[in-house]
């Protein structure tokens, strides 16, 4: 039997849940920092509580998934000796954003040539929002090859900034005409995308582009036909 809560009871329940989640997050950060101390040979002393407090304050806005990924990346990739600092955690958390942005840029370049004017559903919603922030598919598709190449840095910077915010956006980018959207799966490798990508993949129709980079098209510019624009 369902019991309808009074508005004030519902609010109290939410506040209690918020407090519980905040406590769990602080405890998780504390445990991870203690593990770091052990891994890097820091002796326990009276300053530990202060040090843990610094980490808890710096990482307080992270999700539990962010904490797992950030600490795992930090431990697996760090080569320095000595106890890490919170800034290194964020570098580890976002270390693969540039590569994801570059792969997205290459995908965008190909889809603009292969399917001009066609709407696109991007499984990576950061990709979709980055396209919109730069003017949308219609604007970017109207540019010449050289003009589009000038947008590369802005796209990568925008993508990285949006990805760090951890916000979900709309998948759909409108085209110049109404048509069934191209389904663009993500080539991003950062782990924070995996869950969202699995959810989106379940709803995709058979007609989709699992990897736009595999499409062979006439080169958009640069006579060599090379589409890996890392310059």
What are the tens digits of pLDDT across the range 94-131? 777 888 999 999 999 888 888 888 999 999 999 999 99
Question: What's the length of the chain?
Answer: 231
**120-122 and 182-184: which strand pairing?**
parallel
Is it the case that residue 228 has pLDDT exceeding 50?
Answer: no
pTM for the model stands at: 0.54
State percent of the chain over pLDDT 70: 79
d(CA 28, CA 34) in angstroms, rounded, equals 10
Are the beta carbons of 146 and 223 closer than 8 angstroms?
A: no
pLDDT level of residue 178 (50, 70, 90 thresholds): confident
For the stretch 59-68, what's the b/e string if a residue is b when 16 or more beta carbons lie within 10 angstroms of its beta carbon?
beebeeebbe
- pLDDT recorded at residue 23: 92
Coil, strand or helix: which one is 217?
Answer: coil
Residue range 81-103: mean pLDDT, rounded: 88
- pLDDT recorded at residue 152: 93
Is it the case that residue 57 has pLDDT exceeding 70?
Answer: yes
Is it the case that residue 216 has pLDDT exceeding 80?
Answer: no
Q: What is the DSSP letter of 54?
A: H
Q: Of 27-31, 145-149, 165-169, 186-190, give the range with the top mean pLDDT.
A: 27-31
- pLDDT recorded at residue 96: 78
């Amino acid at each position: 039997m369902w019991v309808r809560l009074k508005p004030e009871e519902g609010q109290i329940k939410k506040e209690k849940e918020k407090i519980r989640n905040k406590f769990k997050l602080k405890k998780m950060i504390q445990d991870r920092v203690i593990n770091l101390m052990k891994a890097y040979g820091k002796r326990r002393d009276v300053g530990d509580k202060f040090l843990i407090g610094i980490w808890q304050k710096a990482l307080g806005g992270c999700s539990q998934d962010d904490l797992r990924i950030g600490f795992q990346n930090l431990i697996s990739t760090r080569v320095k000796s000595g106890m890490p600092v919170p800034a290194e955690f964020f570098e580890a958390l976002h270390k693969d954003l540039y590569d994801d942005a570059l792969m997205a840029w290459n995908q965008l370049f190909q889809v603009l040539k292969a399917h001009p004017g066609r709407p696109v559903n991007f499984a990576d919603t950061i990709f979709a929002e980055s396209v919109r922030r730069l003017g949308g598919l219609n604007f970017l598709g109207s540019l010449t090859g050289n003009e589009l190449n000038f947008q590369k840095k802005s796209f990568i910077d925008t993508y990285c900034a949006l990805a760090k915010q951890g916000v979900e956006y709309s998948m759909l980018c409108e085209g110049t005409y109404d048509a069934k959207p191209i389904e663009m799966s993500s080539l991003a490798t950062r782990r924070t995308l995996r869950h969202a990508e699995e959810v989106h993949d379940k709803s995709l129709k058979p007609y989709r582009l699992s990897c736009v980079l595999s499409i062979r098209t006439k080169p958009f510019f640069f006579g060599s036909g090379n589409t890996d624009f890392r310059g």
